[in-house]
Structure 1
């Protein structure tokens, strides 16, 4: 099956629906989940410094807490999230907005890498998944999870499987009817059946977790 792709963002809402329908045609458990919960919504963020900074902010925080802190940091930059404006802020202002000392360092490292031409987020669109992930994870403070989030939500890559994400593994447990949440290695193996549309499957896992009762 060949799914239509857009020039800029491959993980569109239309792609997600078509991909999940295709996967569900050979997966009765996924088909049942779709009948119960429907389709996940498209998730898309602008790329570049702003998106990468938001990923730093969101590390190990709830969505609500991350959004609150991100709004404060944006306000401190007068609504213009650029490397230069971020570098112009004092540490005390960033800490007051809610960033930890480590996240201040990571943010400054990101801003400096872009401002000095050592890292160009725009070039990631030209790279294969593995190469793009390597570029992002070379930045201090960006692990594999952070890189995968950028590839999914800013680059729209259709076959990213964040098995290290707790929410994905819990959603996977519910789809497969498992007694225990799979570990990362098990989730990686289980996710192989959904290639090459694993990003859509991951969105479904989050969708179930966010809407199903505990």
Structure 2
């Protein structure tokens, strides 16, 4: 059965089950404390908002998203599909983001992507479905599953902050790569997303005490995932971006 985190109480209960299953996480929870559950809007607006905020500061992404929402109210995929690229560009979107958002809007309009179905699917199946779409890389897919849907088992294995948090929390000699992170998290099913929330909170506490800045997410093409890899060109398009905070620009991992 697919598990979702809809309330803070859901997260608290899931954390209790997670640390009971893996006692190594008990001191992690003691140090980090219970993370706050942050949720964004599901569906096309939530997914577009994540893409909108890629590679931007929270303030810049918020300003662009505000203009985009005001220009398209209601935020309908068919309206975005038909919108002129130059109009979207004047709102602050880059050419790559315009292409990605319009491609997703087109897929939704044509019935090639059903976000309601994605929202009820197993994490791995939902992830694989999303990354088949132009403009959605592995990291973006998992951020959507975690923060817009509240999926309890989504696992962004390629996120550098999660990798570093796992290294410190589990006393590993080196930061695990995406493939190793997938293996590590197998023991945490069906609460891998809960572990992600916990490790992001732990990372924030540890790095703040050390006075070290927040790491960035990896290029999405480097993330191991169930489906086939994206092309090199798309990897460059997804690029590197700041870790997400609140889903509303690009959710920053350290503040989750």
With the length of structure 2 as denominator, give the TM-score of the two structures. 0.71
The structure-2 alpha-carbon separation of the partners of 1:172 and 1:66, relative to structure 1 and needing over 3 Å to count, comes to: farther
Q: How does 1:1-214 map to 2 (within 5 A)?
A: 9-10=4-5, 12-25=7-20, 27-77=22-72, 79-178=73-172, 180-212=174-206, 213=208, 214=212
With the length of structure 1 as denominator, give the TM-score of the two structures. 0.83
Q: Report the CA distance between 1:39 and its aligned residue.
A: 0.7
The question of whether the paired residues in 2 share the 8 Å contact of 1:44 and 1:153 is answered with yes
Q: Secondary structure at the match of 1:25?
A: helix
The structure-2 alpha-carbon separation of the partners of 1:37 and 1:172, relative to structure 1 and needing over 3 Å to count, comes to: same
Q: Report the CA distance between 1:63 and its aligned residue.
A: 4.1
Q: Report the CA distance between 1:31 and its aligned residue.
A: 1.4
The question of whether the paired residues in 1 share the 8 Å contact of 2:80 and 2:105 is answered with yes
Instruction: Give aligned pairs, total.
Output: 208
Q: Report the CA distance between 1:110 and its aligned residue.
A: 1.1
Larger relative contact order, structure 1 or 2 (CA cutoff 8 Å, min sep 6): 2
Pairwise CA RMSD: 2.6
Measure, in 2, the Cα distance between the counterparts of 1:11 and 1:195: 18
Measure, in 1, the Cα distance between the counterparts of 2:24 and 2:162: 16
Q: Report the CA distance between 1:46 and its aligned residue.
A: 2.0
